[in-house]
Chains A and B, each alone.
Chain A
Amino acid sequence: MEIIEIRRGPVVIMEPRGCIDTSGAKPFGDRFAEMVRAGARNVLIDMQHIVYISSAGFRALLVAHKLVDDSQGKLVLCGISSELLRLFEIGRFLDLFTICATRDEGIARAS
């Protein structure tokens, strides 16, 4: 899985591309953990290039959420398509994650 990282002030923007499924969840999770260990506290995951997320991907997001929570940081998601949003809804994840419509909004919420 390709992951692009950009920094905007205190916010680290993580832009994974492709599928966060059984094969994509591990590299995603490993990279996220590395970022937090390196000091990232305010993280925005831009999901505009994610075409599919499975239960393995949602577990990876849950682990990421806990890592940020444990380090008193903020995790925000943005760029979620209507189909992915539907998956968040049926998996009952909408109340757990902070979701913004745009990257700018996400950066503001994560700061």
Chain B
Amino acid sequence: MKRPSNLIYSVAEEPPRLVCLISAWQQVATVAPLLVLPILIERAAGGSLGAVTNVVSLSLVALGIGAILQSLTSRWLGSGYLIMFVFTNAYFPASVTAAKLGGMPLVVGMTLMAGIVEALFAPLIRRMRPFFPAEVSGICVLLIAMLVGLLGIRQVFGLDESVTASGTSTGPEIALGIGTLAVMVGLNVWSKGALRMFCVIIGILAGVAAGFAMGVVNDTAFAAAVPAGIIALPKLSGHLPQFRLDLVVPFVITALACSIRAMGDITNAQRINDRDWVRPDMTSIRNGLVADGLSTALSALLGTVGGNTYSASVGLASATGVASRRIALWAGSILIALAFFPIAAGAIVSIPRAVLGAALIFNSCFILISGVQIVTSRLLDSRKTFVIGLALILSLSRDVFPGLYSGLPDIFQSFVQSGFVLGVSAALLLNAIFRVGVRSKVSMALDSGADAHGAIRNFLEQQGARWGARRDVMERAIFGTAQAVESIAAYCKPPGPINIEASFDEYNLDIRIGYQGGAFPLEPVRPTDSEIRDSEDGIRRLAGFMLQQNADRVRTMSKDGRATLEFHYEH
């Protein structure tokens, strides 16, 4: 694993304590906005102000344990990366329904089931990999970026889920949100060192200070927490889990969507920590899903709502350059400690939503670019174009035109409960359908007098796009094949066509060139410049040398007047 140049501290490094402390607080500050979700669910279940404040304390414990579990590097648990655990919009619709039907006990029971489903699904990930190629992971990350960004916009402008409602934020609140965002962006773009590293927390603190000055801080929750005392043990909810069969499908679909989101986040975390990242590490992803599922199950047992890996925390690590897993231990410990200070829960909930919205918008930018980079890391053909395009458009349509989907039969409602679930479901379904007709081995024949390079480029680029192969590997294969065919035509002078066969799986690209004639000699040693320039076989010897250097493995064979040149490229 090679550290990218933009990272100051990568995953395995141990930053100084002060950096850990401030970075951890920064991560804690970014998960704060989504504490609003358990608050809303508890209220939907008819909870009192005291129950709401208590669920925030319990939620802090769940978030802390979730962050720590995800950062573990044990054999079966934890991806090993800094990825915070946070309450997710994905569970919101199903949880609100459960809250209204059966109160918090039903929310707890169904969330517990969903967490267990996610953990049990994890070992199946490796076998199901063809159904989750890089572009599906990238779509997940893109959709998450839009979710996070739009949630940020809603917080700044005081918008609810309805597309026609006007915002409830006042002018000063909107100005506060925009100003906070400007501070964060300005520090990230124009400053260096500590100011860049801590741009988000500086922005939030500046926003809170400005909020107090402008009189837009609502400290009701803070005031409600004061009578509980400075330190108090959070009370376990005591909810006995309940279950309903008619809620199984929405919670299982959400668990699957959260698994895919976690795959995307873990992939993103792998990518930002490794300059040479080429494909997801499935073991880390499997262990990360187990941690994510168990964290959701634990949240339920504590009496709060379901959660998921937090893309914004990966975005924050990328933006600030601090991606050490040690930060997760610090952040998790801070969150658990905060649970014992009721005033802390009140203070977190009192941060102006416009300030929290600015933090969400800031982080969504980095998540978005990461999603784009994951999607475009592979060659794309028309199949993949439609998977990506249709998934994104359908996802957007669900949020922009919610009425379009409200008339669908009940059996489909689980799949359209949110733009995210719809987009991911569409991507999975289309990817599975478009796998029909993609062959892993293809061939072409070339007349030795033909324009080799053009024909070979067209053939391999087209095929590479169908396979979703890496661009850089296909470029190497195109050069190697074109150079080989050119050299064979010039020096072996085959009487018949030259056959080219290409085969591919996710780890290997093999090109096999067959023709009538003698074997083409490879050169382990580079001829000198004067040998290349002045000797008759200079060009041939240079070609033999470059072909050897270009591929990961080359083999030449000859039998019964027929020769074969084989190139192997690791993918």
Residues of A that sit less than 8 Å from B by CB: 19, 21-22, 51-52, 54-56, 58-59, 62-63, 66, 83, 86-87, 90-92, 96
The 7 A-B residue pairs with the shortest CB-CB distance, nearest first, are A55-B543, A55-B542, A90-B549, A62-B533, A52-B453, A55-B539, A83-B475
Inter-chain contacts of B132 with A (CB < 8 A): none
Inter-chain contacts of B549 with A (CB < 8 A): 90-91
Inter-chain contacts of B457 with A (CB < 8 A): 51-52
Residue of A nearest to B479 (CB): A87
Say if the beta carbon of B428 comes within 8 Å of chain A. Answer: no
**In the bound complex, CA of A61 to CA of B514 (Å):** 30
User: Knowing A21-B486, A55-B540, A92-B526 touch, does A62 contact B546 (C-beta < 8 A)?
Assistant: no
Tell me which of B482, B532, B539, B546 contacts A90 (CB under 8 A). Answer: B546
A18 to chain B, nearest CB (A): 9
Residue of B nearest to A92 (CB): B526
User: Knowing A83-B475, A83-B479 touch, does A56 contact B546 (C-beta < 8 A)?
Assistant: no
Which range contains the number of B residues in contact with the other chain? 20 to 34
The answer to whether B540 and A52 have CB atoms under 8 Å apart is no
The answer to whether B486 and A22 have CB atoms under 8 Å apart is yes
**In the bound complex, CA of A92 to CA of B546 (Å):** 9
The answer to whether A62 and B483 have CB atoms under 8 Å apart is no
Inter-chain contacts of B487 with A (CB < 8 A): 54-55
Inter-chain contacts of B532 with A (CB < 8 A): 55, 58-59, 62
Tell me which of A52, A56, A63, A92 contacts B479 (CB under 8 A). Answer: A52
Residue of A nearest to B540 (CB): A55
Residue of B nearest to A96 (CB): B529
Inter-chain contacts of B546 with A (CB < 8 A): 55, 87, 90-91
- Which of the listed residues A55, A56, A83 has the most CB atoms from chain B within 10 Å of its own CB? A55
**In the bound complex, CA of A68 to CA of B191 (Å):** 48
B48 to chain A, nearest CB (A): 63
Inter-chain contacts of B545 with A (CB < 8 A): 91
Say if the beta carbon of B494 comes within 8 Å of chain A. Answer: no
The answer to whether B550 and A54 have CB atoms under 8 Å apart is no
Q: Mind listing 9 A-B residue pairs with CB under 8 Å?
A: A21-B486, A52-B453, A52-B479, A56-B539, A59-B533, A59-B538, A90-B550, A91-B545, A91-B546
A26 to chain B, nearest CB (A): 12
A53 to chain B, nearest CB (A): 9
Residue of B nearest to A21 (CB): B486
A52 to chain B, nearest CB (A): 5
A39 to chain B, nearest CB (A): 23
**In the bound complex, CA of A51 to CA of B454 (Å):** 10
Say if the beta carbon of B490 comes within 8 Å of chain A. Answer: yes
Residue of B nearest to A90 (CB): B549
B218 to chain A, nearest CB (A): 54
Inter-chain contacts of A92 with B (CB < 8 A): 526
Inter-chain contacts of B453 with A (CB < 8 A): 19, 21, 51-52, 54
**8 A Cβ contacts from B478-506 to A:** 479, 482-483, 486-487, 489-490
**In the bound complex, CA of A66 to CA of B526 (Å):** 19
Inter-chain contacts of B529 with A (CB < 8 A): 62, 96
